Structure formats: C-alpha cells, structure tokens
A = this chain, B = another copy of it.
C-alpha cells in the first residue's frame, strides 16, 4: 500500500495519543518510526507500533515517564529513562549529548531503564543535523550466540553512526552485530525459505538452514564470528554495564516478554562537535574528498556503482517524500489490526 508519510505520521500520533502518551512524546515516537520506514527499514518502523502500544497499555512502557539525568559531568551524563517508550528516552539522551558536546567538544550519554529504541541510526542522524558526528547503540535481550556457545548469549546489539557531509544527508551506518537481523530470519520463515548456513545455529550450536528454529531453539550468529561477539560486548559495556541498565539475559524482549514488565534496555549516545576540533568547512571538504575517492574506485565486474553507508536509505527516503511511501503487506497488516483495535480511522489519500 502506498501512502503519504505525513499521513502515516499522523496515524501513529493518533494511535499513541489513544494510548494516552503525551502529545510531545507521541510526536517523537512517530517521527522515529516513520523515518525508519522511509529508509526502507520496515523491520524497525511502524510495524512495531502495535507491540509498543500493547506494552504501554499493560504498563511495561510508562506513558507518563519522565526521563531524567541521574549523574553528570561536563562531557557525560547518565539518564534514567523511567521506562519511557524507547524513542522518548533516546531522543532526550541524544539531545543532552549534543548540548554537552557543544561546550565540551564531545559527550557520552548513557541510558538505563529504556526500552527497544527502534533504529539506532535515527539518533545518530540527530547529531549529524547539528554538525556533529553521532553514535548510537543499545543492548537487547539475548538472541545471538557467541563462539563456543549453543544458545543466545548476548543481544545482537545495534550500533549506528552518522557523519555530516555538507550534502543533504549524512553518511549513516546502522547495523546489528549479528550476521543478519532477526527480522530477516522471521521473513524467511514466513516465506518458507531456507537460509544460508551462517545466519543461525540450532539448539546444539551447529549451523542450520532452518529459519523456523529462531528464536526459540536457534540463535543468531555474530557477524564475522569473534569480531561481532567482541563488538557486541563493547556495546553492552557502554550501554548497560556502565549505565546501570539491565545486562544480557536480564533484558526482557520488548515483543515476547510479559507486557506489564519494563524491559530494562540500556543505550548509549555519543556526539562529537566537529567545529570544536576542526573548522567545519575543512572537515566537510575532507569528507567530500573521501567520498569522491570511494565513488571513483573502479567497479567490480557486474557492479554499476559504489554506495556510501546510508545512501540507499536516503534515496528511499527521498523517493518516499516525493512519490509516497510504499509499505509492505506485513506492515500494513499490523497497522490495520491496530486501527481496528483502537477504532482509528483507516483512510488514506492516494499519492500520485
């Protein structure tokens, strides 16, 4: 189904308001989810709205949450997100990182008592809009094994960064530290496909091509083996060990666990104020030089161009703005069910 992204945004705000989220919080969450869909990352966009609202209604996400700073220094802060919906505590924390970076040059803000924050890249891009390098990361309930283990040991802890380029959009990487995101495994299971044998291990810790084992008797593999395992532990350290958030198996699944319980996610946000360190114009010239060199590299046989991290996502974003946002059927089905559950209008004008 193709629709106007601003109508989808209004639908999300409407739904969240029905669940009694304050207007400002509903707007923040809607913007995160719709932007993510516009990037084409449908596993992390409005598809999850229904699940978030279930948690709000059951109390696991607090609709009246007030994220607050519980520890601070000139270049850092720890935020207690008060079990707010993920985007609310995360936007609060990244704004705080940006504010502190403006005076200190860079800043780290860690978050505890958060929930699933959606696409990490959204928060990294917030910093880039302010002329800063942004990083965002979070821990999650274990779905990923580690070398030598058979079951899930760590979350596939996402990490994202954004770098301003002087062009319309920043360089933007947003990745899970598993070989592939869990959503891709679910999608293969739904389609009845087999998967490559390096995505998942079975209940004995051995490679499997059966996506149906996930998550109950299979675990995602870390990207690049011990490298993804190690980086996931770094994300766990900065997001959870150092912030007071729940760690590893203490973190509840935002989608599967009892919706009346807070999930306890942790997150971390870093902003580096380029202009404090190097004149912004020099930095942008140097970024452009780097981009030009990458783009000018001879293409591999069969490839027609080289993309920058995030470039495909920004292309989709621009297309969604210009031509309307084409939502996949599984997303539409969730939104339609939610509309029924909340007795929301299901009317969309047709983009042309």
Footprint of B on A, CB under 8 Å?
71, 73-76, 78, 104-108, 110, 133, 145-151, 153-154, 161, 163, 171, 173, 175, 179, 201, 204-206, 223-224, 226-231, 233-234, 236-238, 241-242, 244, 247-249, 272, 274, 276-278, 283, 286-287, 289-290, 293-294, 297-301, 303-309
Contacts and interface: CB of A to CB of B under 8 A. Distances in A.
Nearest to A75: B75
Quick one: copies of this chain in the complex?
2
Given A73-B276, A78-B277, A290-B241, A205 B301 contact: yes
A149 B104 contact: no
Contacts of A223: 223-224, 227
Contacts of A274: 242
A107 B272 CA distance: 11
A201 B204 CA distance: 33
Contacts of A173: 227, 230-231, 233-234
Given A149-B303, A224-B223, A236 B290 contact: yes
A201 B300 contact: yes
* Cβ-closest 9 pairs across A and B: A205-B300, A173-B230, A223-B224, A230-B309, A148-B306, A73-B105, A75-B75, A148-B303, A149-B297
A155 to B, nearest CB: 12
A294 B206 CA distance: 18
B277 A76 contact: yes
Given A228-B224, A306-B147, A300 B206 contact: yes
Contacts of A75: 74-75, 104-107
A238 B299 contact: no
Given A175-B230, A233-B173, A294-B153, A299 B106 contact: no
Contacts of A71: 277-278
Contact of A300 (B110, B204, B238, B309): B204
Contact of A309 (B149, B233, B247): B233
Contact of A150 (B230, B236, B244, B300): B300
B297 A153 contact: yes
A163 B242 CA distance: 11
Given A149-B297, A153-B294, A298-B149, A283 B104 contact: no
Contacts of A299: 148-150, 205
A223 B224 CA distance: 6
A113 B310 CA distance: 30
A321 to B, nearest CB: 24
A149 B295 CA distance: 9
28 contacts: A71-B277, A74-B74, A74-B104, A76-B276, A76-B277, A78-B277, A110-B277, A146-B294, A148-B303, A148-B307, A149-B297, A149-B303, A150-B300, A153-B293, A153-B306, A163-B241, A175-B230, A201-B300, A204-B301, A205-B298, A206-B301, A224-B228, A229-B309, A230-B309, A233-B290, A242-B283, A247-B289, A248-B293
